[in-house]
Structure 1
Amino acid sequence: MEQMTITAKVQIAATDADKVLLDETMSVYRDACNYVSGYVFQTHDLKQFSLNKVLYSTLREKFGLKSQMAQSVLKTVIARYRTILENQNKWIRPTFKKPQYDLVWNRDYSLTQNCFSVNTLNGRVKLPYFAEGMSKYFDHTIYRFGTAKLTNKHGKYYLYIPVTYDVEKSNISDICNVVGIDRGINFVVATYDSHHKSGFVSGKAIKQKRANYSKLRKELQMRQTPSSRRRLKAIGHRENRWMQDVNHCVSKALVENNPKHTLFVLEDLSGIRNATERVKTKDRYVSVSWSFYDLEQKLIYKAKQNQSSVIKVDPRYTSQCCPVCGHTEKSNRNKKIHLFTCKNCGYQSNDDRIGAMNLYRMGINYLSDSQSTKESNDSYTVATE
């Protein structure tokens, strides 16, 4: 078994009086986080015990926080600093700009099928919420709630709850299907599977919509007004949400259209940004902004839910190698017309399909190598007993 964590989004149904109370609590919580952040930046102290000893009384008296809220503030700031140190490897002071409230399960908040109970500056309040899709998570023998985040977006209040549960881990010996997935711009994905079937998701409409966003962004940048800057920020968020929804739909379709215990094979595109130096300047926006990583992450967690697996392999020559005879040559691929023609055996096909076929072959080789390793280990075990 292995653990899976997903984030459940719950909208709170708050009255005007509730909104005032929640806004005040989240604003004070944010201000307290910034106060603690400044102290940590000066002292580089990330130990909750010592921070609590120095700052607890101030958080209670100056900000009026309840005891549990004061502890949550310390944990929030410590977690943010540790993330920065892990990613940046240097001390950078985080600033908490938007009102927020981090809630520890069964301490700062609780959730039943009818009610959201939360600790505020004026005591605990119980609020209704839109429960659609949440009912399955209340079996706490299976699902476990973690530290949630309460936010206010355009006057609507949302609770983001991490939900952890166990899923059966897929073993190599259980794999019954292999799917090679070539990600690109002309086609969002091109696939080739164990049934020798190919599939394509066109990227034409996505490319066009991104071009429209890029054009609008340039026009707004030229205006240099406060309203244009606000508009720029808004369309940036909108474009990200739209692209995430596209990736959600594509990854969901990939998992649902294949059986359990499928092995999905992707190219390891971790160095794709470095490749933009070889791309024409006018094409760099599309190459860099195309959200390959987001699609990859969504596919990984959806595959786990379906007892399937995802592996990443070396992307070199996947679009230059002939899947029939194995001949590899750069001129095999004509990028302009998206056609692959093997200079050795003459095999022709779409270049993205060729990439998917080669990824499928690498998946088959991975299974074969894993099985050989397992058999060798088993033989060694028997021989030494």
Structure 2
Amino acid sequence: MKQVVKVRLLPTQDQELALSQTLRRCNEAASWLSQQMHALGITHRFAAQKKFYVELRERFNLSAQPTIRVIGKVAVAYTTLRANVQAGNFGPPGSSLRSKVEAKPAVFRPEAAQPFDARCLSWQIPATGREGTVSIWTVAGRLKFLRVTGKPEHLLLLRTCDIGETDLIHRDGKWFLFATIEAPEATAQQPRGFLGVDLGIANIATTSDGYRMAGARLNRYRKRQLQLRKRLQARKTSSARRLLKKRRRKETRFATDVNHVVSKNIVAAAQRTGRGIAVEELTGIRARVRLRKPQRAAIHSWSFAQLTGFLAYKAAQAGVAFVQVDPAYTSQACHQCGYVDRKNRRSQAVFKCGRCDFVEHADHNAARNIADRGVARWDEVMRPDAAPILAAS
């Protein structure tokens, strides 16, 4: 199972200068290569490497492997861009935004992240402590004994697992390494039922056991941050812009921490009871739902995908089965009798069945429906040939 581990670099002044020069040189090379590839209509890595490798290396005085990594970075950027265009994220064919995006080559910021591999970067992580060192290629030569620090559990993973690509990132005056590792994955046991999880805004997550993680605190925090941003943007002063820049990722960090706590509690509950975890497949929800203007900011700022991703990888680490189910009508179907009607959902919190008069908290009812669908989905995954056999009999 792939996992990303973040550690912080602690460079000296000279080392920081070398790292900054490396990022700028590599991104300058990437922007030049992007222009050449766009002009010739080349988007694939091997075609770009065959045509531009020698010139790119000589023009920007790069070593062999960093040159390969620059070419790979540009090729990945065009692959991502092509996927977004085909998905319609820049509008339909012929739209002004899509035409504008397709007409321009990809451009890389001077301090955009630069990928490294084992030939460019090596790790020296001791068995104990919160610090280690790395040896990394730079345009000023190879830097050795560059200090890194991080959480003990992250350093343990770096010491014991296979390390793949590592990104060098400069953010808010700090240096980081984001390493992709192949983390051990526990064998998922046969679950004794499923813990359904209904995701939402008023309640971040509600389980089929009835446990609700209220989102009021997070929503109040986001509302305060929105009001603060509006006041600072209205001032239009250099100090206001400085404060905006300083606070730009504070809300994201807060929400990420909340999602980590919520996902950890859910996985622990499922592991303790020997059950799997079932959640709704909410991909594309922003495009599917129609909301009033005040509700749009809430749903667009809430990270459904992040919480689902945290649940998935934490469940894999714990050996807990994890499935995603069809979300259709989970909030409108009565768990007691199965009757489906949009009028069953009387309000955000109240569910009352129009057939059997069953009354339940709306999110709890939805979570119980999700748990039932999790069982059916698990049977489909583990026995994909069961349905045809039953149909034949």
Give the TM interval when normalised to the shorter protein: 0.7 to 0.9
Find the aligned partners of 2:137 and 2:382 in 1 and give their Cα distance: 54
Counterpart of 1:161, as a letter, is A
2-structure distance, mates of 1:268, 1:247? 17
C-alpha distance after superposition, 1:238-284 (max 9, x if no partner): 2112111111111111112221763222222224223553x222222
Q: 1:136 aligns with which of 142, 156, 159?
A: 156
Task: Give me the whole-angstrom Cα distance separating, in 1, the residues matched to 2:309 and 2:381.
Answer: 24
Mapped partners of 2:347, 2:174: distance in 1: 47
* Aligned with 2:372 (options 349, 361, 364): 361
CA distance in 2, matches of 1:107, 1:368: 45
Aligned-pair identity in percent equals 27
The answer to whether the 8 A contact 1:103-1:109 is kept is: no
Residue 136 of structure 1: CA displacement?
Answer: 2.3
Aligned counterparts of 2:123 and 2:380: Cα–Cα separation in 1: 48
* Superposed displacement of residue 191, structure 1: 0.4
Unmatched runs of 5 consecutive residues or more in structure 2: 87-100, 126-131
Deviations 1:133-188 (A, max 9, x none): 34423555xx21111111222332111110014525537xx122301111112211
**1:288 equivalenced with 2:308 (yes/no):** no
Is 1:161 matched up with 2:218? no
Q: Map 1:248-259; keep pairs closer than 5 Å.
A: 248-259=260-271
> Match of 1:156, as an amino acid?
K
- From 317, 327, 334, the equivalent of 1:322 is 334
Q: Distance in 2 between matches of 1:200 and 1:81?
A: 42
Amino acid at match of 2:136: V
Counterpart of 2:234 in structure 1 is 222
What does residue 274 of structure 1 align with? 287
Query: 1:376: how far off?
Result: 7.0
TM superposition score normalised by structure 1: 0.85
CA distance in 2, matches of 1:177, 1:21: 55
Matched, 1:346 2:352: no
Across the aligned residues of Structure 1 and Structure 2, the Cα RMSD in angstroms comes to 2.8
**Cα displacement (A) at 1:228:** 4.0
SS state at 1:189 partner: strand
Residue 20 (structure 2) pairs with residue 23 (structure 1): yes
User: What residue identity is the alignment partner of 2:282?
Assistant: L
Alignment TM-score, normalising by the size of structure 2? 0.84
Three-state SS of the structure 2 residue aligned to 1:349 is strand
Do the aligned partners of 1:29 and 1:99 also contact (CA within 8 Å) in 2?
no
Instruction: Give the Cα separation in 2 of the matches to 1:273 and 1:229.
Output: 30
Question: Relative to structure 1, is the Cα distance of residues 120 and 351 closer, same or farther in structure 2, using a 3 angstrom cutoff?
Answer: same
Tell me how far 1:209 sits from its aligned partner: 0.9
Distance (whole Å) between structure 1 residues aligned to residue 19 and residue 147 of structure 2:
14
How do 1:62-211 residues align onto structure 2 when only pairs under 5 Å count? 62-89=59-86, 91=102, 93-100=105-112, 102-113=114-125, 114-126=132-144, 127-130=146-149, 132-138=152-158, 143-168=161-186, 170=188, 174-192=190-208, 197-211=209-223
> How many Å apart are 1:107 and its aligned residue?
0.7
3-state SS in 1 of match to 2:111: coil
Distance 2:185 2:315 in 1: 11
Aligned to 1:383: none
Distance 1:355 1:246 in 2: 22
Deviation at 1:100, TM superposition (A): 4.4
Deviation per CA, 1:42-78, whole angstroms, max 9, x where unpaired? 1122354553454344433432222222222112111
